[in-house]
Structure formats: C-alpha cells, structure tokens
Amino acid sequence: MFTKLYDGSTPAAIAIISISLVLLAGFLMTRITKRLRLPNVTAYITAGIIIGPFCLNLIPQSIIKGTGFLPDIALAFIAFSTGEFFRVNTLKKNGMKVVVITILEALLASVLVFVMTYFVLRLELAFSIVLAALASATAPASTMMTIRQTGAKGDFVETLLQVVALDDIVGLLAYSVAISVALHSYAGGSFSVSGIVVPLFTNAGVLLLGGVFGVLMTLLLRPKTRSTDNRLIISVALLFAFCGVCTVFDVSPLLGCMSMGTVYINMTDDDKLFKQLGYFSPPILLMFFVRSGMSFDLHALVNSSGSIGSSPLLLIGILYFVVRIVGKYAGAFTGCLIAKKPKETRNYLGLALIPQAGVAIGLAELGARTLQGEAGAALLTVILASSVLYELIGPGCAKLALYLSKSYSNKLEDLVKVPETAPDGKEKSQLELLIERIQKIQEELPAHTINEEEAAFNEAAENHRSALFGEQQRENMKQPIRRRRK
C-alpha cells in the first residue's frame, strides 16, 4: 500500500528514494539490535523483512528485481577478503591439525543435512545437495566479537580463529561443486562420474582465472606508483570485471575472487588494501542483506501451503537448524579427537561454530537464482530463517563455549597476575593486591585509536584531497577564515 507514494515519480526518483530507505532502515534497526547485543546482520535481515513486500511494502518489486546483481558484488568483496587468510606462512603455521578439524566439522554438517533432505524427506537432488553445501559455512563475526569482549586466550581461542578462517573456504568449494551437480541433474543427466569431474575442472579453471586477475591486480597496484584512492578504484574495477566475466559464462565467481585475494596477499604482503575495502564495503553489504530480507517469503514459511515436494518449509527449516548444529558439534569433536586437542577444546569447539550468516546467505541468493522456481525460493527462505535464529543464539553459545573451555575468567585474580609477597618477603594485604591489579590493568589498556580499516580509509581520503588541492591552495582557503576571526 505504501508503494502508492511512488505514483507519478520518475524511475530515477524511485530508485534513489528506495536506496535511501534501505540504508536508513538497516541503520535504524542496528540501534535496536545493538542494545540486545546482536550482530548487525540480524538487524539488516529484520529491516528487510519489515520494509519488504510481506510487511510494510515500502520498496517496489521492480527495485528488488533490479538489484539482483547485489549478491554477486557483495560476495565478491566477502570472497576476496577471505583470500587474505591464505598466506603461505600462516598455512604452514596452522599445520594439518586445523585442516582436519575444519574439513570434518564442515563436511559432517553437510553430509547429515543431505541425508536428512534427500533420503529421509525424499526431496529432489538439486535442492538437497545445494542446501547441504550451505550447511558447511559459518559466520565468525559474532564469535570473534565475543572473543574481543571477553579477552579470551589460549589453545581453544587459537584453534577457533584458525578454523573459522578456513571454514568458509570449504563452504565455497562445497557450494561450487554442489551447484554444478544440481545443474547437471536439472539437465536430465543421471548421476555419473562426469557430474562430479566436470564441476571440479570448471572450478579449477575459475581458480586459475582468479589467480591471473590477482597477478594483474598486483601489477596495477604498485604501492610506490599508485595513490591510495586509485588503488581502491582499480581493485573495485577488477572485482566487478571478474564478476562480469563469470556471469557471462554462468559460473560462480566466488572461488575466483578468493583466489585473486590469495595471490595478491602472497605476492605483495599488502594487507592495507583489504582494510580499505573492508571500510568501503559496509553500505554495499547492508543493501545486500536488507535486500535478502525483502526477498524472504515469510508467508511460505509459516503457512501450510508453503512446501517443497510433500514437506512443509517450516519442517525443513527446523530440521535443517537442528541437524546442522549436530553435524557441526560432532565434526568438531571428532576432528579435535583425531588432532589430539585438549579436552576443553574438544568438548566445546562445536558450540562456537553455530552462527551462520554472510557467506551462506550470499550463496543462497546465488543458488536461488540458479535453481529458480519453487526450489530456489525454498532454498533462500530456509537459509534466511535459520540464519536469523543462528545469529540470535550464536553469541550466547560462543560466550558459553569460551567460559566452559576456561578461555577467560571473571575473577580479577585470574585476569591479572601480581606478586603476592613484597620484596622483603612480607605477604601483601588484599587491599594492596587489589590496588596493584587495578594499576596493572590501567597500564595494559591501549590508547584510544581508530580501527585499522578507518585509518586506511582516512589515509586514502587525505591523499585524495592533497591531490585535488595543493598545499598553497589549502592555505589560501584558510586565510579568509583567519581574517573573519580577527
């Protein structure tokens, strides 16, 4: 009903107002979720549901359809940033133990979801295998936020950070193979070796092409010859170009963008570009997640008419939610057992791997567009609904896992260690110990600084301003102000 406000408006006016509403709705919703200590992704999805066609209907359907390119662009940024974690020296340091844990916790979740959907619920192969692949991805943002808040340390935290850095890579690989197998099954081909081999070779080609783009990016972004603003322009242009090439050939650009980031970081060891892109991308990611919320078919989830095959979407969503948690926990436990990790890490690592959002939602958007029809809409609905639930319980589970694994403590004597005896051998009083602990905490507090992403972006803005206005011009601009003050 609210879309009547657009009657008589030009297409440009409708698009501009819609983008403004999307950005404002996402921001305003974060004011609520911040008080509830929930991640921003939850706010964005919820805002999309509220302003979308199934609630207030503030955004015209033409805008939602016309922004179908947003999932590709958003995932290009996400996948490229993932490549930063694939430094050769980091991979050598992590060793095979973390790789074993990651593969087991990611793939066991996928296997259990596939068994549930394909063999138990008897859903079609294409839908089952794509949904199973999405089950492997996690959302480490809320977990890492909890780690920073608690100041947790130890083997559990180190293992967790290494696993989440590799986890989405397994998810990207699994999805790339799964979507190719799904398309092969839609084409009428029966299950065969070629249905697996061809997608593998296709993805290998995408990885190689992404590596070529990474080399090209390295050559074009020579730090000594390019200003920071031009580096940002060139990197965004290359990411868009690669997405465009992959779209022409109807191939997922995810692995290629990841390969581009991996090649660039290993050839240049330049992490400043990743920080610049990280500070540049939030509005794009906000619009992407809000748009995902607007595409969420709430009626299909709660109404009995919403189903795929003979199974209601609500049942599929609940089973997916539960089975994925079981798979993640069991896989992490088994992986830690094989890797001979301590008991605390083995028992509670799975709890910290529950959240699911960014990569999974982006892949679901691409999967929905590829599968189309009933299966595509059902895939996106199930992933969005479960992601909201995962993000609601994820931070709590992560904090519980950190506490149970004894990675942090609320006791002051555990947080700060000070000598309990004076130099003369006399025992200190409880008041003296308390004062010394407080003083040590104050000494260890970092100075107030802006984050690295903001610093990189500010540096780029300053260089850009210096290029536009010389020092003399800026001095001349200040003179009238000085005269007025006099």
Residues in the chain: 486
Give the Cα separation of 331 and 348 in Å (integer): 12
pLDDT given at position 193: 64
pLDDT given at position 91: 67
Q: Coil, strand, or helix at residue 421?
A: strand
Strand intervals (E) in 231-348? 307-308, 311-312
278 φ/ψ angles, rounded to the nearest 5 degrees? -65, -30
Tokens of 100: 């074993």
Which among 378, 385, 376, 393 is positioned nearest to 328, based on CA atoms? 393
Which among 299, 355, 318 is positioned nearest to 41, based on CA atoms? 355
Q: Cα torsion at 220, 225, 226, 228 (round to 10°)?
A: 130
Tokens of 313: 């979407």
pLDDT given at position 472: 47
Give the Cα separation of 16 and 374 in Å (integer): 31
80 φ/ψ angles, rounded to the nearest 5 degrees? -65, -45
pLDDT given at position 67: 86
Cβ neighbours, 10 Å, residue 436: 15
Which among 122, 96, 97, 252 is positioned nearest to 178, based on CA atoms? 252
Cβ neighbours, 10 Å, residue 451: 11
Which among 134, 113, 101 is positioned nearest to 342, based on CA atoms? 101
C-alpha pair distances (Å), 406 with each of 215, 331, 343, 411, 442:
44, 21, 11, 12, 24
Element (H, E) at 125: helix 125-134
Spell out the alpha helix ranges (H) of 313-357: 313-338, 343-348
Q: Which residues of the chain have pLDDT under 50?
A: 448, 471-472, 474, 477, 481
Tokens of 74: 């958003």
Tokens of 358: 């960014």
**Chain-centroid distance, C-alpha 412:** 34
Give the Cα separation of 225 and 218 in Å (integer): 12
* Average of per-residue pLDDT values in the chain: 79
Give the Cα separation of 233 and 248 in Å (integer): 23
Give the Cα separation of 342 and 327 in Å (integer): 20
